[in-house]
Amino acid sequence: MFFLILLADYILLWGDYYKLGIALFMLVQCLYHRQLANDYLFYLGLLSFLYPNIYLLAFVYALMSLVNIITAIKNHHFLRVTLILLALCDICVGLQFILQINIPLIWLFYLPSQVYYAKMVPSSEDRTTV
């Protein structure tokens, strides 16, 4: 999963392939969802790949992220911290894209989300916290 995240970050930071970057992050959300639930209806969002409009992809990604956050909070899953931090980062990225200004808060949310996830995955036997 970390390779997919790294690839998506690289594409978004140093490339002009925003649709591909968002699509890769949608796949990451699918992998997060696989850790959270066995709900295959969630994957219907991938149909947006058939019409890769950047706004549609961003909207579907936001919905996928929201569903994962709600599921993680409801199940007291360790991913809730990572997903909330990533959502805050995504809000900053969206504002940066819309307003065309630099928002350094992105890294304040993004880096801790990845560090927390990296620490929790190997240490969590049942993938839940109380």
CB distance 90 to 62 below 8 Å: yes
What Cα–Cα distance (Å) separates residue 98 from each residue in 55, 93, 103? 11, 9, 11
Beta-carbon-side half-sphere exposure of residue 112 (alpha carbons within 13 Å): 12
pLDDT in tens, 14-71: 888 989 999 999 999 999 999 999 788 899 999 999 988 999 999 999 999 999 999 9
pLDDT in tens, 115-124: 999 998 876 5
pTM for this entry = 0.86
